Chain A
């Protein structure tokens, strides 16, 4: 059948600017294979991992979405037009009835008993029929693994310990830093410099000595995750990065454990329960990680200290409900919280039958390299990646100490600070001029081209982007990146400049 494939403007550079390509095909898939076989660059913009259509790519035959017919197997007839159209933003999902049932698979009769001390301690629980003696004994039997004892893990751990969860596994490899104390309330001022795992253990034991803490001072990896997860009833995800989040999700799906999820950024938080046996997993919601650098971490973007307190407490609430097997868990529901407006909202989630890890025909059957999956480590031998390295290599750099020496020597340097004004308020390098990254190209007239220019930010990444942008826009002056930014300046030159 002769059909026409309509190429969106945004992708025509990969088809030699052709808008319409005529091919002979029997199905949509065959037509697309022919077009992308001829124009290979086009394929990676339409197909993602495992050679599946990317989730934001819609294909229409005339005006009909192929998701409503037989997807790529949809037959085509003479004269049909196949259109490639991107979806912008996510779609609505239908609700699925979720069954209760405790995540702790112990028969009621063999649950541990409570001592008189425990009965006194948990009396406010015990008098509620939703918990009662059996529920409290179930809490005691429960084994919950927490990933991270940071902003989210702090309140989660404290409430789960207080609630009488029998065994809390805690995974963290970090050390308590002064900048943690604004939100990570499980650690105190006296703990700065101690491993978080030790500090958390002390605090949780102080809250409830009946709780057994199993501490793992290690990074969660693809090598150890499945073994760690095996002995727990559920996992509470308190991580702050995408590779670990996907790792926790996939390991939970493979091990058949519920994943009590929370995430925070600036004033906004999310929480859900991803339990593949009963509903959507994290990959059903986010099949692919966002591009690197798009979503700043809390270290870059900041976070309101109380926000993880709220989201972490919600995670503790959900973990307790999963143990009790009652209430309405956040399965197939994504809770969105905005602390600034003080609003809660909820999105319905749906299990994706095509999900690569929990779908009908999963393609991920073991744990993978999540740093690479999230684009944090370039896949080997790729042209684009190699070019970028080349570009980075050519960028001139200066260390904070060298900069200080040159300034002391009286060298004629201008220092451009590309951070945001609120960061400039906190700390600045003397004599620097503030032009935020977003304005640097438009305001390049304010940078004297004939003088040597040192560009800096907090850690050296934004300043490198500023130099790239200026160079691309035709700025001719000499631009030097301050390695490690103002943080390095504070460390190596002037400790009087506060670090933030």
Chain B
């Protein structure tokens, strides 16, 4: 399951609406608990969709160096990348065939998809891989209150968080 607070859900929605009609993408920063079954998300880390121009309305690609940067940035707080999110403009929040074939299949991560029908973010759903990597399945999204003091609100939008 994935646990995240209302603020992060609102951020993902806003990001998805902001890039409409293109797909947005980003990383989810937090901690993995419960032997890899639970992702506790503390921050979103929006990144630029680096898929080739002209295709971004239905494709996204996250630059590996952005991923590495996010890992390094949060490592000192004991946090790291625990999943990713992207939007489906005018499509349901269900992984497409392309997503399934190209999202990194590590079973400890969450794959959040938000649908953006007509520019307004709607469903947010999250998917995970089975431990044996045999298939994806929908995971539960739990909204929790995260204590902001854990890693200082003022550091939230530090360098690299927004390209």
Contacts and interface: CB of A to CB of B under 8 A. Distances in A.
B137 A293 contact: yes
Contact of B71 (A8, A91, A92, A438): A8
A6 B74 CA distance: 13
B106 A63 contact: no
Please tell me the size bucket of the interface on A: 35 or more
Contacts of A57: 104
A500 B142 CA distance: 34
A19 B58 CA distance: 34
Q: How large is the interface on B (under 10, 10 to 19, 20 to 34, 35 or more residues)?
A: 35 or more
B125 interface: yes
A89 B61 contact: yes
A481 B95 CA distance: 26
Interface stretch (A9-17, A426-434, A449-457): A9-17
A345 B129 CA distance: 29
A473 B81 contact: no
B97 A268 contact: yes
Nearest to A91: B61
A285 to B, nearest CB: 9
A170 B80 CA distance: 53
B119 interface: no
Nearest to B110: A10
A13 B138 contact: no
Nearest to B47: A88
B97 A295 contact: yes
A441 interface: yes
B137 A60 contact: no
B140 A441 contact: yes
Interface in A286-306: 286, 290-295
B77 to A, nearest CB: 12
Contacts of A295: 97, 100-101
Output the residue of B31, B72, B79, B103 with the most chain A CB within 10 A: B103
Contact of A92 (B35, B52, B68, B96): B52
Nearest to B140: A441
A30 interface: no
Contact of A9 (B32, B105, B134): B32
Contact of B80 (A8, A87, A473): A8
Interface string B51-83: 110010011111011011001100100011111
Contact of B106 (A45, A265, A338): A45
A11 B136 contact: no
B17 to A, nearest CB: 20
B102 A88 contact: yes
10 contacts: A9-B31, A10-B80, A88-B84, A89-B51, A89-B62, A291-B135, A345-B55, A375-B135, A382-B132, A384-B131
Interface of B: 25, 31-32, 35-36, 51-52, 55, 58-62, 64-65, 67-68, 71-72, 75, 79-84, 95-98, 100-106, 108-109, 125, 129-138, 140
Interface of A: 6, 8-13, 19, 45, 56-58, 60, 63, 65, 83, 85-92, 265, 268, 286, 290-295, 338, 345, 375, 382, 384-385, 388, 437-438, 441-442, 465, 469, 473
